[in-house]
């Protein structure tokens, strides 16, 4: 995948360009419809598809107190765009205070200025998407500018799945409730989190159950508890059992949720690597134990329960 980080880099992409623009948090069915519209357009008239997205999520900068947990942090989003949609070129626009001051028209003008005359064939967005300072940009503005600069516009309407309106908010609610079936239906894929393996207390090694501790980049997590999971990374995939729960941190005695994953058959050191983790099935709530032997025995039972779940899947 080619990742562009400056609008000016669009001049190096083979035209004409078919742009799919949006935040695309979750890369859900609605987002896919926008991107597929751009792919169809390129298939009909030639040229290149470029997905244009933003980092960080605009609300994280404009209203951090109201910012939701992400469905997909940037690295996860890029991974999904390439793996599930075959996207080859993405422009990640840095959403800064200065950029946030641009009007919708100024943003589109910057795209137009980056490519030769007529270099943009179509811009695809969600029908209700608004952009630019004061939400000054919308599909009506795009259509007006399209007439001026010679590009077409596709405003993709709301997508429904099984009578449910697809939205990032609805998906977050489903995940927070542990309803992976609804989340998967609206995402158009299984729900996963993307995290980097970090060093923990390495307690698991001392009792025969080494775990990978994941930093999940502020992504939306399901309810606390123990789960059967499947993890993918470095070209390999492992079944396992995970504990999602609260642990005191060393710094300041703060408490935060951590995802600790014991992967069956993993023998190599994967510190610093990224893992995509799928929650297969809830096993039990998190609990405290009186000592290491009690903890060791429970982990063994949890691992056995997870293995039974995977056997049932076959």
Q: Is 293 a catalytic residue?
A: no
Residues 154, 207: one domain? no
How would residue 288 be classed by pLDDT, with cut points 50, 70 and 90? Answer: confident
Asked whether residue 77 is domain-assigned, the answer is: yes
Residues 27, 118: one domain? yes
Range of the domain at 53: 2-165
- Where helices occur in 46-86 by DSSP H, the ranges are 58-62, 74-85
Q: What is the pLDDT of residues 202-216, one digit of tens each?
A: 554 554 567 788 888
Residues 152, 206: one domain? no
Lowest-pLDDT range, 23-32, 136-145, 188-197?
A: 188-197
Residues 55, 159: one domain? yes
Asked whether residue 149 is domain-assigned, the answer is: yes
Q: Average pLDDT in the 40-57 region?
A: 96
**How far, CA to CA in Å, does 214 sit from each of 120, 191, 237, 277, 286?**
41, 16, 16, 10, 17
Asked whether residue 11 is domain-assigned, the answer is: yes
Dihedral sign computed on CA atoms, order 40, 144, 117, 134: negative
Lowest-pLDDT range, 136-140, 145-149, 264-268, 272-276?
A: 264-268
Per-position b or e across 152-161, b if 16+ CB within 10 A of its CB? bbbbbeebeb
Higher pLDDT, 312 or 254: 312
pLDDT at 251 > cutoff 80: no
Q: Average pLDDT in the 125-135 region?
A: 95
Residues 42, 136: one domain? yes
Q: What is the pLDDT of residues 53-110, one digit of tens each?
A: 999 999 999 999 888 899 999 999 999 999 999 999 999 999 999 999 999 999 999 9
Nearest Cα neighbor of 314 from 280, 284, 276 is 280
pTM, 2 dp:
0.90
Domain boundary among the residues 165, 180, 212 is at 165
CATH number, domain with residue 262? 2.40.30.30
| Three-state DSSP class for residue 136 | coil
Residues 110, 52: one domain? yes
Residues 273, 201: one domain? yes
Asked whether residue 112 is domain-assigned, the answer is: yes
pLDDT computed for residue 208 by the predictor: 53
Domain boundary among the residues 165, 183, 208 is at 165
Nearest Cα neighbor of 185 from 157, 219, 167, 162 is 162
CA distance 136 to 19: 19
> What is the number of other CB atoms lying within 10 angstroms of the CB of residue 79?
19
pLDDT at 192 > cutoff 80: yes
Q: Average pLDDT in the 115-123 region?
A: 92
Residues 99, 195: one domain? no
For the chain, the maximum distance between any two Cα atoms, rounded to a whole number of angstroms, is: 73
CA distance 311 to 296: 23
pLDDT at 248 > cutoff 80: no
pLDDT at 253 > cutoff 50: no
pLDDT computed for residue 183 by the predictor: 97
Asked whether residue 182 is domain-assigned, the answer is: no
pLDDT at 252 > cutoff 50: no
CA distance 42 to 146: 17
How would residue 249 be classed by pLDDT, with cut points 50, 70 and 90? Answer: very low
pLDDT computed for residue 250 by the predictor: 35
Residue 119 host element (H or E): none
Residues 9, 105: one domain? yes
Residue 195 host element (H or E): strand 192-198
Pairing of strands 120-126, 89-94: unpaired
How would residue 282 be classed by pLDDT, with cut points 50, 70 and 90? Answer: very high
Residues 157, 20: one domain? yes
Residues 79, 198: one domain? no
Mean of pLDDT over the chain: 90
Phi, psi of 299 (to 5 degrees): -60, -40
Cα within 13 Å of Cα(169), Cβ side: 3
Asked whether residue 186 is domain-assigned, the answer is: no
Percent of the chain at pLDDT > 90 equals: 74
Choice among 219, 260, 276, 278 that is catalytic: 260
pLDDT computed for residue 57 by the predictor: 93
CA distance 252 to 254: 5
Residue carrying structure tokens 């200065």:
98
Q: Average pLDDT in the 127-137 region?
A: 95
Lowest-pLDDT range, 115-124, 170-179, 267-276, 288-297?
A: 288-297
Residues 209, 309: one domain? yes
The total number of structural domains that make up the chain? 2
CATH number, domain with residue 70? 3.40.50.620
């Amino acid at each position: 995948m080619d990742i562009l980080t400056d609008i000016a880099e669009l001049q190096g992409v083979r035209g004409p360009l078919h742009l799919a623009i949006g935040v695309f948090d979750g890369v859900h069915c609605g987002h896919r419809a926008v991107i597929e519209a751009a792919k169809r357009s390129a298939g009909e008239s030639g040229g290149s598809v470029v997905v244009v997205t933003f980092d960080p999520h605009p609300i994280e900068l404009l209203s951090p107190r109201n910012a939701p947990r992400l469905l997909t942090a940037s690295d996860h989003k890029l991974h999904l765009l390439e793996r599930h949609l075959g996207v080859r070129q993405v422009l990640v626009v840095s959403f800064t205070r200065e950029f946030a001051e641009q009007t919708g028209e100024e943003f589109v003008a910057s795209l137009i200025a980056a490519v030769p005359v007529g270099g943009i064939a179509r811009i695809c967005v969600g029908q209700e998407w608004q952009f630019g300072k004061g939400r000054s940009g919308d599909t009506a503005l795009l259509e007006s500018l399209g007439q001026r600069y010679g590009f077409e516009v596709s405003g993709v309407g709301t997508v429904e799945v099984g009578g449910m309106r697809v939205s990032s908010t609805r998906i977050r609610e489903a995940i927070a409730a542990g309803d992976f079936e609804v989340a998967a239906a609206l995402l158009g894929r299984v729900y996963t989190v993307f995290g980097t393996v970090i060093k923990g207390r390495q307690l698991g090694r001392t009792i025969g159950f080494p775990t990978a501790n994941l930093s999940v980049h502020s992504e939306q997590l399901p309810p606390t508890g123990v789960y059967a999971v499947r993890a993918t990374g470095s070209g390999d995939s492992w079944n396992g059992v995970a504990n999602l729960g609260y642990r005191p941190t060393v710094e300041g005695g703060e408490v935060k949720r951590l995802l600790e994953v014991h992967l069956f058959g993993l023998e190599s050191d994967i510190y610093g690597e990224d893992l995509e983790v799928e929650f297969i099935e809830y096993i039990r709530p998190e609990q405290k134990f009186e000592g290491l032997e009690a903890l060791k025995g429970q982990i063994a039972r949890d691992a056995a329960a997870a293995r039974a779940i995977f056997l049932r899947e076959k």
